[in-house]
Amino acid sequence: MPARAPACPGRRPSPYSHVERGRMHSLPRARRVRPALTRLLRTAVPSSRRLRRAIVMIITPVVLLAAATVVAYVRTPLPTRPQDGVTDEGSAVYYADGRTPLFRLGANREAVRHDQIPGRLRWAVLAAEDRGFYGGHGVSPVGTIRAVWDNASGGGTGGGSTITQQLARNYYKGLSRDRTARRKIKEIFIALKLDRHRAKDEILDLYLNTIYFGRQTSGVQAAARAYFDKDVWELDVAECAMLAAMIQRPTYFKTQGGDAAARALRSRWKYVLDGMVSMGRLGRAEADRQRFPRTQSEWTGVGLSGQDLLVRHRIEEELASAGIPAGSVVNGGLKIYTGLDQRWMRHAEQAMREAQEPRWPGSVRGGLVAVDSRTGAVKAFYGGDPKRSQVDAVFAPVAQAGSTFKPYVLAAALRKGLSVRTRVSGASPQKFAPNGEVTPMTAPGYKVKNDEEIGSLGTIDLVKATALSVNTGYVKTALKVGIGNVLETARLFGVPEAALAPYKGQAGVALGIPDVSAVTQAAGYAAFANGGTAVVPHLVTKVVDAHGRRVPLPWDGPGRRVLDGEQAAQATYALRATVTSGTGTRAALPDREAAGKTGTTEHNRAAWFVGFVPQVSAAVVIGNAKSGPLRNLPGHPGTVAGETLPAEIWHSFMDKIARDLPVAAFPEPVFAGAAANWADQDPAEQPDPAGQPDPSKQGPGPAGLDPAKEKELAKRKQAATPPSDTPAPSRTRDPGAGGTARTPPPVSG
C-alpha cells in the first residue's frame, strides 16, 4: 500500500498527527471550531489592513476637499458692489404728452420700486426661472447638475441656475464670464451667501430691475415700454407671462410671426402659465382663457424718420448749456421732457415731403420748425431727409436771413417811439448817406434798389413797405433809427451776437445779410405773436432727476420784454398785411388770420417764409450751399423765392396743426407813436401831417413819447382814420368769396 502524501506540502508531518486527529474527533465541537477561527483570522489580517488603507485613501481626500470647500466658502466675500454699468439708467426722453418716449440716452433701463411691480409678474418670472425660489436656499443642486450636463453634451439652454445664482453672475462684481468649474463654484458660494444675508424680495427686485429682456432693454419697466408701450404695473397676466418667457432666450425669441423662434416663444409662454397654475398662483380656467399678447412692431422710441439723431444732438447741447454733465445724462436716470408733439412732427415731415424734399439735390438745405409763441418750446420740426443730406437745416444757420430780417428793423423803429404810419419813399434805386439822407447817384453812398417785380414806388408807410418788402424804404428806416439800434434789437429778439458782430455799422443788415437758423427766426417772430416778450427756443421743457426733483433750466423763467403790447400789435399789423395783400398771400390760412414775412436773398440762393398765428410761430428755409440760385427743384420749375415754395410749405403745415388750435384774433393796434415822414421827396410832402418831431433824434428806448401825449395821440388816432395808403388787413379770408383783387406777389421778398 503506497505511503500517504503529507497533509500540507512543504511542511513536515508530525509523528503524532494520527494521535492529534483522534483527539480532535474526541474533543467537544466548540473546542474543535476555535482553532479553525483562529487560522481564518490569521489569514484575514492582511486583507483587513488593505481595507483600512483603502478607506483612509478614500476618506482623506474627501475630508480635505470638504475642508477646502468650507475655507473657500468662508473666504468668499459677500458681494456689495454691482458690476460696471449694470445699474446705469439711461435718461428717458419724452414727447410733450409726458409719457410717450422718444428714445433713451444711455442704457435702456429704468428701475422701479417693489410696490410698482405687480404680483402677477413676480409669479410669472418665478414660474419661468425658479419655482422653488421662496423655499430654497439660493442654489438648486439638481438644476446645477442638469446645466453642467447640458453644457457638456451640447444640449439645450434650460435654466440650471436659480434666480439668486443668475443675480450673482449678472449683477455683482467679482465673477468672470468664463465657463469654468471654478467660476461655477464661486457663483454657488455667492448665491448661498446672498440667500443668507439678503431678503428674498430684495433679491427678486434686483433681478427684475436688471435682467435682459431683448430689444436692447434691461429691467421690467423698460421691457414693458418696449414690447407693450405700457408701464409695468399696467401689464395683464398674458403680458407678464410673455416677458417672463423672454428671459430664457431674449435674443432668439420672436414675438411675432410663425417661424421656429416665434413658435418656441409661444411654447415657453404656455410653460410659464402652466407653472403659475401648478404653483397655485393662477386658476386653470383663467390660464386657459389667456391669449398670446400683441406686441409693438418696433420699440416705441424709434419713428422720427431720421430726425431722432438731430433731436439727440440738440438735447445734449441744451443739457450741457444748462450745466448737466454728460455722465448724468448717460447713467443718471433722468426724465427729459420735450415740447415735441408727435402728430405735429408727422405734419412737418408731410409738408416737406409734399414739396418733394427727398428728391432735392444734396446741395440744397431745407427745414421747417415751429415753436410755442408763449414759451419758445419747439413743437415740431423737420430738418430734411437724412438719406439726402446730413446737414442740420433747422438748428444751424444754413442761409442769410434775407428780408425776414426786416421785422427787426421795424421793431427797432417802434422801440424808438415811431409808428408803422411813418412814411418812407419807395422809389428805386436810391443812394443813402450814413445818416439816412438820400444822395445823388453820382455821390458816395449805399446804393439800394427794389426787386424788379416791385419796381419804383411813391411815398408809402411802413405797413406797405413791409407787405411788399420794399428795400429802399427799409434801408432808409434802418439808417434813420441807427444801425446800432437795429443790431441791438435783433439781439434782444434772440439773434446770436456772433451772427451780428461782423456787420456793425453796415446798412446791409436791414436786408438780412447775417446768417441765421430757422429756429432763431421762428423764436424771434414769437415775440410779435405773444405781445412783445422774447423767448429762447428749446427742445427740453423739463428735467427730473432720479430722486424726482426738478432740475432748473436757464429758460424756465419769464422772457425779456422787448416790445410793449401796442408796439407788438403794430408790428403784427404790418406782418398781417404781408399775408393778406403782400408777398406772402400763398401762406394765408382759410379759417384764421396769420402774419409773416417772405425772404429771398441775393441771386435767389435762399428763400424763406417765417410766420405765425397767436399760438405758434414757424419758419421754413430753403438754401443752396452752392453759389447758384434755387432753380428747377423737382416738381417746382423756375426760380424759388420766398413767396413761392417756402410759403406753400408753411401753409401746408400750419393748415394741419391749426385744427388743434382754437381760432384767436390778433390785438388791433391804436397806432400810437410818431408818424415821421422820411419820404425825401417834394418839399410840399415834407411836413408831418401829425405835426410830430422826428423821433429818430430822441434817445433809444421802447417808449419814445411822453405817456400823456401818447395817450392823447392814441385817442386822436382812434377818432380819425389813420393816415395810410395801406388798407387794414382782414381778420379772416374766405377763399370762396369774392373780394378785391390783390397785387400779384413779386419774385423777391
Cell of residue 102, nine digits = 422718444
Asked if residue 238 belongs to a domain, the reply is yes
Cell of residue 326, nine digits = 454728460
Instruction: Give the span between the Cα atoms of 639 and 659, in whole angstroms.
Output: 32
pLDDT tens digits, one per residue of 150-189: 555 544 444 568 888 787 777 766 665 556 666 667 677 7
Cell of residue 14, nine digits = 508530525
For residue 222, the number of C-alpha atoms closer than 13 Å in the C-beta half-sphere is 28
Q: Show which of 260, 289, 318 is a domain's final residue.
A: 289
Look at residue 587 and tell me whether its pLDDT is greater than 50.
yes
What per-residue confidence (pLDDT) applies to 247? 93
More confident residue, 473 or 177: 473
**Is the same domain home to 56 and 152?**
no
Instruction: Give the span between the Cα atoms of 361 and 629, in whole angstroms.
Output: 12
Question: Where does 501-548 have alpha helices with state H?
Answer: 518-529
What per-residue confidence (pLDDT) applies to 691? 42
**CA torsion through residues 495, 498, 503, 504, sign:** positive
pTM: predicted TM-score of the whole model, two decimal places: 0.71
What per-residue confidence (pLDDT) applies to 54? 78
Core vs surface per residue 578-588: b (16+ CB within 10 A) or e:
bbbbbbbbbbb
| Domain extent at residue 255 | 108-289
**CA torsion through residues 356, 360, 364, 365, sign:** positive
Which letter does DSSP use for residue 538 in this model?
Answer: B
Instruction: Give the span between the Cα atoms of 172 and 682, in whole angstroms.
Output: 89
Which band of pLDDT confidence, cut at 50, 70 and 90, is reported for residue 140?
confident
Q: Show which of 289, 310, 334 is a domain's final residue.
A: 289
**Is the same domain home to 71 and 216?**
no
Which band of pLDDT confidence, cut at 50, 70 and 90, is reported for residue 702?
very low
The CATH number that applies at residue 153 is 1.10.3810.10
**Is the same domain home to 148 and 73?**
no
**Is the same domain home to 124 and 65?**
no
CB–CB of 615/341 below 8 Å? no
Q: Show which of 232, 256, 289 is a domain's final residue.
A: 289
Residue type, 405: F
56-60, 352-356, 421-425: least confident range: 56-60
Distance (Å) of CA 601 to CA 244, 469, 526, 585, 607: 61, 12, 22, 19, 7
**Is the same domain home to 160 and 60?**
no
pLDDT tens digits, one per residue of 500-523: 999 999 999 999 999 999 999 999
Which band of pLDDT confidence, cut at 50, 70 and 90, is reported for residue 722?
very low
| Domain total in the chain | 2
Closest CA to 556 of 573, 575, 574, 543: 543
